[in-house]
């Protein structure tokens, strides 16, 4: 089951350790990208962001950072935020908690950040208790679904526009499977949101302190 927008009841039972949006009524949006860095996809995303003067937050897979350190450094050099997305892109539901914790720690060796996003959004309660002691666990307000072969770029764009609100956290992906869609979705989304009076910011742990 894919939750493109997390139902309020699910959020309630998931608990306060998981952050789904940034609190407040300011018209700010938080663009995030998962699974990079990738030597083709990530620079393409960075180019679009630079063209529009938009900052974003990249949740990086540790093994990809090791493979592509120049691209990772480009993310930081251009003023974007990064977050931990495990070293091996592990599904927490299918992973022993000790193994999961060790994989996050290994990613931290190459991604110095207090932000964490569980791959697939799947994390056990025991894992979230442990991880939240050192990280802010960031989920999402709207998942574009750019990874879904049954969704074209227009479908993905309509979905995130439908769920965009003040404080929304939006998820796209900077990997080779999604980049052609993202190159269509991202500029259109930015232009629409700017027209509606929204601004864009990076995610920082202290944004959630009032939750």
Indicate which residue of 34, 35, 146, 174 is catalytic: 34
Q: Which three-class secondary structure state does DSSP give residue 17?
A: coil
Spot the catalytic one: 68, 80, 85, 173.
173
Of 125, 139, 130, the closest CA to residue 83 belongs to 139
What is the DSSP track for 80-148? -EEEE--SS---GGGS-HHHHHHHHHHHHTT---SEE--GGG---HHHHHHHTTT-EEE--SEE--TT-
**Among the residues of 2-96, which ranges form H helices?**
8-14, 41-52, 62-67, 69-77
Residue 146 annotated in active site = no
Residue 138 bridge partners (DSSP): 19
Tokens of 208: 């959630």
Number of helices and strands in the chain (H, E)? 8, 9
* The two three-digit tokens of residue 33, written as one number: 């990208």
- Residue 94 in tokens: 């299918």
CA 111 to chain centroid, in Å, comes to 14
Rounded to the nearest 10°, the torsion over CA 30, 31, 36, 39 is -130
Whether 34 is a known active-site residue: answer yes
Q: Which residues are catalytic?
A: 34, 173
């Amino acid at each position: 089951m894919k939750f493109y927008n997390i139902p309020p009841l699910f959020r309630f039972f998931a608990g306060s350790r998981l952050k789904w949006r940034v609190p407040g009524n300011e018209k700010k949006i938080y663009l995030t990208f998962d699974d990079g860095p990738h030597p083709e996809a990530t620079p393409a995303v960075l180019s679009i962001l630079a063209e529009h003067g938009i900052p974003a937050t990249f949740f990086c897979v540790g093994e990809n950072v090791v493979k592509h350190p120049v691209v990772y450094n480009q993310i930081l050099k251009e003023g974007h935020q990064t977050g931990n997305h495990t070293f091996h892109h592990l599904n927490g539901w299918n992973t022993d908690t000790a193994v999961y914790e060790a994989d996050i720690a290994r990613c931290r060796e190459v991604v110095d950040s207090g932000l964490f996003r569980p791959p697939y959004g799947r994390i056990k309660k025991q894992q979230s208790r442990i991880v939240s002691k050192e990280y802010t666990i960031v989920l999402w307000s709207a998942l574009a679904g750019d990874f879904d072969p049954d969704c074209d770029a227009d479908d993905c764009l309509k979905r995130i526009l439908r769920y965009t609100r003040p404080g929304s956290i939006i998820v796209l992906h900077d990997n080779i499977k999604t980049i052609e869609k993202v190159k269509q979705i991202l500029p259109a989304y930015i232009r629409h949101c700017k027209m509606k009076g929204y601004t864009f910011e990076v995610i920082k742990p202290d944004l959630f302190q009032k939750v």
